[in-house]
Amino acid sequence: MSPTATMIFLSLQIIISFLFTATASSSPPGGFTIDVINRRSTSNSSSSSRFSKTDDGELGSPYANTVFTTSEYLMKLQIGTPPVEIEALIDTGSDIVWTQCLPCLSCYDQQAPIFDPSKSSTYKEKPCNEDPNNPCRYETHYADQSYSKGTFATETVTFQSTTGQPFVMPETTIGCGHNNSLASAPAASGIIGLARGDSSLITQMGQNFYSFFSYCFSRKETSKLNFGSNAVVSGDGTVSTTMFTRTEKPIFYYLNLDAISVGENRVETLGTPFYSLEGNIIIDSGTTYTYLPDSFCNKVKDAVDSVVKVAREPFSGDMFCYKTADTEIFPVITMHFSGGADLVLDKYNMYDNTGDSYCLAISCVGPTEDAIFGNRAQNNWLIGYDTSSELVSFKSTDCAALY
C-alpha cells in the first residue's frame, strides 16, 4: 500500500501481560550479516549449545534475505524444527519477536504459510509462575491499531550462514500469535523486535551481538543488516550521536534532535517544548515517515513552504503536498543531532512521490505523542547502534552498492 499518514506503522508497544526469562550467552566475539532486498527492483545455556558453530569451532556469519514492501522492511528467517521460513517486519521500536501461529482465532492473510507449532519438535510453551499447566500469555498493541495476542514459547530460530551451514539459536523466546492484526505490513508474518527489551532478538543473542548492530536500507537493491563485530560503522564521513533511555519507555532508542535546516534556514528546537538534553526523538526502523510535535513541526513546514514556489494541494490532510514532478524545486533538508551529527538528506528521504504530486515525508503529532525518525529518512545511511557506549553512528552510503 502507498505510505500515507494514516497508514504509517508507529511502533509504540504496550505489554499488557508478559513474563520472560532472559537467555544470556557467553559466546566468543563474532558477527553476522543479513541481506536486505528491496522488493521493488529458558535456560542458561553455554556458548557451545546456545549457537551453532562451524566445523572449526568458530561462529559463522549468518544472513537472511529481507524484502521491502511499500513502506516497511521485512526479514526472512526460519523458526521451528524442521525450519519454517517466515517474513517479519524489522522493528527497532518494539521488543517482542512474534509470528502468527495455528490454530488461529483471528489471523490476517499473510504471504507465507502460517506457522504450525504442532509440527515442530522444538516448540515449547513458556509456563507462568513455573506452573507447566499455565502457559504464559501476552497481548501487545501498537498505535496504528495493530495487535497480537497469544502465548509465549521457546523455539529454535535459524539463519542461513556464509559458511554454508545454518546459524542456529535454540530456545529463543517468541510470541506465538493466535489473534493478530498488522496494518502497516499485511503480507508480513509478524514482527522482529530489535529494541532494548529482554525479549528482543538482539538481547537474546547475548552481549557479543547485542552491543552492536547496524543496517543500511536500500530503495532498490540488496543491502545489509549486521550484528556483532560486523556492525561497527566507522571511517571517513561517519558521525555519531548519543543514544538515551527514558525510564517511562525504556525499550526505545532516543536521540537528541537539535535542529532541522531547510536549505539555509536552520530551525532550532531550542525555544520550543520539543527541546531536550535527554533525548527527544525515537529512531525507529518500523515507522516509515518522520513525526515531529506540532510546536516544532509547523515551523519546519512553514520553512519548506516559503521556498517551494508551487501551490500546495488543497486536500492533502495533514501532509504537505505539491502538484509537481520536479524535485529540484524542493530545498535540501538537514537533520542536526547532538554532538555534531549533521545528516544532509537526499530528496528521496524527505519528499515522497504520490502519483502526480510530491509530499513532505514529515507529519505533525500532538504534544503527548512521541517524535519518530522513520526509515524513509534513514534510507541510504549506514546506521550502527552501539549499546555498550550508547552511541548511534551514521555514514552516508549507497546501500545498494555497498555489498
Are residues 117 and 52 located together in one domain of the fold?
A: yes
The Cα 40–Cα 166 span in angstroms is: 28
pTM of the model: 0.85
Are residues 56 and 159 located together in one domain of the fold?
A: yes
**Residue 205 belongs to what domain range?**
14-231
Q: Worst-scoring range by mean pLDDT, 47-56, 198-207, 360-369, 387-396? A: 47-56
Q: What is the mean pLDDT of residues 63-86?
A: 84
Are residues 310 and 353 located together in one domain of the fold?
A: yes
Angle at alpha carbon of residue 138, lines to 137 and 139, rounded to 5°: 135
- Tell whether 3 is covered by a domain: no
Q: Worst-scoring range by mean pLDDT, 9-18, 19-28, 266-275? A: 19-28
| pLDDT reported for residue 385 | 93
Q: Pick the residue with more confidence: 373 or 6?
A: 373
Q: Residue 258 pLDDT more than 90?
A: yes
| pLDDT reported for residue 21 | 34
Q: Pick the residue with more confidence: 38 or 382?
A: 382
| pLDDT reported for residue 64 | 61
Q: Residue 40 pLDDT more than 80?
A: no
- Contact, 23 vs 45, CB < 8 A? yes
Sign of CA dihedral 83, 62, 186, 97: positive
- Tell whether 56 is covered by a domain: yes
> How far from 13 is each of 180, 198, 317, CA to CA, in Å?
14, 14, 26
pLDDT digit string, tens, across residues 289-339: 999 999 999 999 999 999 999 988 876 677 889 999 999 999 999 999 999
Q: Residue 58 pLDDT more than 90?
A: no
| pLDDT reported for residue 225 | 78
| pLDDT reported for residue 210 | 64
- Contact, 62 vs 161, CB < 8 A? yes
Nearest to 13 by CA among 144, 168, 183: 144
Are residues 181 and 220 located together in one domain of the fold?
A: yes
Domain closes at, from 178, 202, 231 = 231
Are residues 218 and 243 located together in one domain of the fold?
A: no
| pLDDT reported for residue 396 | 97
| pLDDT reported for residue 131 | 85
Q: Pick the residue with more confidence: 8 or 385?
A: 385
Q: Residue 12 pLDDT more than 50?
A: no
Are residues 197 and 286 located together in one domain of the fold?
A: no
Q: Residue 32 pLDDT more than 70?
A: no
103 pLDDT band, cuts 50/70/90, is very high
Percent of the chain at pLDDT exceeding 90: 61
Q: Worst-scoring range by mean pLDDT, 25-29, 143-147, 267-271, 282-286? A: 25-29
Backbone angles phi, psi at 310, to 5 degrees: -125, 140
Domain closes at, from 191, 211, 231 = 231
Indicate which CATH number applies to the domain containing 307: 2.40.70.10
- Tell whether 1 is covered by a domain: no
pLDDT digit string, tens, across residues 118-176: 999 999 999 998 888 899 999 999 888 899 999 999 999 998 665 677 878 999 999 99
- Tell whether 282 is covered by a domain: yes
Q: Which residue has the cell 550479516?
A: 33
| pLDDT reported for residue 82 | 96
| pLDDT reported for residue 66 | 65
Choosing from 95, 144, 284, 370, the catalytic residue is 284
Coil, strand, or helix at residue 119?
A: helix
- Tell whether 8 is covered by a domain: no
Q: Pick the residue with more confidence: 267 or 168?
A: 267
For residue 208, what are the β-bridge partners?
Answer: none
| pLDDT reported for residue 11 | 42
Are residues 176 and 245 located together in one domain of the fold?
A: no
Are residues 21 and 149 located together in one domain of the fold?
A: yes
Are residues 252 and 390 located together in one domain of the fold?
A: yes
The Cα 182–Cα 201 span in angstroms is: 19
91 is catalytic: yes
Are residues 225 and 248 located together in one domain of the fold?
A: no
- Tell whether 66 is covered by a domain: yes
318 is catalytic: no
- Tell whether 7 is covered by a domain: no
Are residues 204 and 346 located together in one domain of the fold?
A: no
Number of domains in the chain: 2
Q: Residue 18 pLDDT more than 80?
A: no
| pLDDT reported for residue 1 | 31
What's the mean pLDDT when you consider all of the chain?
83
Are residues 294 and 166 located together in one domain of the fold?
A: no
Q: Residue 26 pLDDT more than 50?
A: no
Q: Which residue has the cell 502538484?
A: 323
The Cα 46–Cα 210 span in angstroms is: 17
Choosing from 91, 352, 370, 386, the catalytic residue is 91
- Tell whether 2 is covered by a domain: no
Residue 73 DSSP code: E
Nearest to 68 by CA among 204, 215, 212, 177: 215
| pLDDT reported for residue 69 | 79
Domain closes at, from 169, 200, 231 = 231
Q: Which residue has the cell 524442521?
A: 82
